[in-house]
């Protein structure tokens, strides 16, 4: 995650003293903001999960009961595992689809690669909710696809293809649609920085294109692939908006459970806090383990 490490200016020969933009002045505000509005809130969630704070009035003492219940509950863990499988599938499919796109842009020698890259990524930069809305309109029982099938006589209006909307399929389709443009980016960056002379050398030494791809291009682009994978997996794991709009009951995900525990119906902030912290812990662990692939410089560079 260290953004500045590689970018340190060459040995600044600067006089010390008489600073009016000192390091504490510069860092004070941003760090204070994150401590108060980012770290402290997470600590409060932890306090709720341990029943130190609670919605119920009255005295409270620290207890691990909610954590114990969570770790021995089949419902929550099964739901978490279901979300993991859905996110893994979406991430894998999207990375596999995005790789050839990035490969085409980076290595085909097309002259308009940045225009095409922008064409590819632009949908990602538009409204998330509205792109979900588009699929809701398309997939519904009386939506675009079904009404088209009725119109052309392929299906009778009494028998729409009703599995389209409010299903696990719909959630995965929409999530894939949303993330596909974005994942091409890190893969593109890693392919773009590939030294083409390596491929020429391989070719001179008699390697076929496939061999060169397997032995050189693929291994060297792996960091981009891993980064792309995580960039989809991490946000989709905690996803609740898309499942709540197109998922129905079968597309219900772990994130929806968290929202519902904090909802207006039967709020259970203690259990909800446990679920939230567990998700955060998993994501944090993934981030730490794969930190070297997640150099943000890779993403922002162009």
Partner 1 sequence: MDVALSKNGARLLRLFFFLVVVFLYAPIVILLIFSFNDSAVPTFPLSGFTLHWYHQFLVNADLRASLQTSAIIAALSSLGAVVLGILASIALTRRRFHGKAAVSALLLSPLVIPYVVFGISLLLLFHQLGVPRSLLTVVIGHIVITLPYTILVIVPRLSQIDVSLEEAAFDLGASRLRTFRSITLPLILPAVVSAFLIAFTTSFDEYAVASFVVGTRVTFPIYLYSALRFPDQLPQVIAVAVVVLLVSLTVVICAEIGRRVAERRFVG
Among 77, 88, 93, 138, binds partner 1 (CB under 8 A): 138
Shortest Cβ 190–partner 1 spacing (Å): 14
Among 69, 284, 289, 292, binds partner 1 (CB under 8 A): 284
User: Where in 213-272 is the site for partner 1 (CB under 8 A)?
Assistant: 217, 234-235, 237-238, 240-241, 245, 255, 258-259, 262, 269, 272
By CB under 8 A, tell whether 297 contacts partner 1. Answer: yes
Among 57, 142, 205, 249, binds partner 1 (CB under 8 A): 142
Among 68, 78, 85, 209, binds partner 1 (CB under 8 A): 209
By CB under 8 A, tell whether 195 contacts partner 1. Answer: no
By CB under 8 A, tell whether 76 contacts partner 1. Answer: no
User: Where in 40-59 is the site for partner 1 (CB under 8 A)?
Assistant: 40-42, 44-45, 48, 53
By CB under 8 A, tell whether 68 contacts partner 1. Answer: no
Encoding tokens for residue 156? 């009778």
Among 64, 71, 96, 144, binds partner 1 (CB under 8 A): 144
Among 165, 199, 225, 274, binds partner 1 (CB under 8 A): 199
* Nearer Cβ to partner 1 (167/256): 256
Stretch that binds partner 1, among 61-69, 73-81, 84-92, 144-152 (CB under 8 A): 144-152
Count residues contacting partner 1 (CB under 8 A)? Answer: 112
- Three-state secondary structure along the chain? CCCCHHHCCCCCCCCCCCCCCCHHHHHHHHHHHHHHHHHHHHHHHHHHHCCCCCCCCCCCCCCCHHHHHHHCCHHHHHHHHHHHHHHHHHHHHHHHHHHHHHHHHHHCCCCCHHHHHHHHHHHHHCCHHHHHHHHHHHHCCCCHHHHHHHHCCCCCCCCCCCCCCCCHHHHHHHHHHHHHHHHHHHHHHHHHCCCHHHHHHHHHCCCCHHHHHHHHHHHHHHHHHHHHHHHHHHHHHCCCHHHHHHHCCCCCCHHHHHHHHCCCCCCCHHHHHHHHHHHHHHHHHHHHHCHHHHCHHHHHCC
User: Where in 90-109 is the site for partner 1 (CB under 8 A)?
Assistant: 97, 100-101, 103-105, 107-109
By CB under 8 A, tell whether 9 contacts partner 1. Answer: yes
Encoding tokens for residue 121? 């990524």
């Amino acid at each position: 995650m260290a953004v500045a490490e590689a970018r340190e200016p060459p040995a600044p020969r600067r006089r010390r003293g008489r600073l009016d933009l000192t390091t504490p002045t510069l860092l004070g505000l941003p760090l204070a903001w994150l401590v108060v509005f980012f770290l402290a809130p997470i600590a409060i969630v932890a306090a709720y999960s341990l029943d130190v704070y609670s919605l119920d009035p009255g005295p409270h003492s620290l207890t691990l009961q909610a954590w114990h219940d969570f770790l021995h509950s089949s419902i929550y863990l099964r739901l978490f595992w279901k979300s993991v499988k859905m996110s893994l599938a979406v991430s894998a499919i999207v990375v596999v689809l995005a790789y050839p796109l990035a490969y085409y842009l980076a290595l085909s020698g097309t002259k308009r690669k940045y225009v095409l890259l922008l064409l590819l990524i632009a949908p990602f930069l538009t409204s998330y909710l509205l792109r979900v809305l588009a699929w809701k309109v398309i997939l519904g029982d009386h939506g675009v696809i079904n009404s088209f099938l009725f119109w052309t006589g392929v299906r009778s209006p009494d028998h729409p293809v009703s599995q389209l909307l409010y299903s696990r399929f719909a959630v995965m389709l929409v999530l894939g649609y949303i993330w596909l443009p974005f994942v091409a980016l890190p893969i593109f960056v890693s392919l773009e920085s590939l030294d083409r002379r390596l491929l020429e050398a391989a070719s001179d030494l008699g390697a076929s294109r496939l061999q060169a791809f397997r032995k050189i291009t693929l291994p060297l682009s792996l960091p981009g692939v891993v980064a792309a994978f995580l960039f989809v997996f991490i946000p989709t794991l905690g996803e609740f908006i898309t499942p709540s709009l197109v998922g129905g009951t079968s597309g219900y995900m772990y994130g929806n459970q968290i929202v519902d525990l904090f909802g207006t119906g039967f709020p259970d902030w203690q259990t909800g806090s446990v679920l939230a912290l567990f998700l955060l812990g998993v994501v944090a662990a993934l981030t730490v383990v794969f930190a070297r692939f997640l150099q943000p410089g890779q993403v922002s560079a162009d």
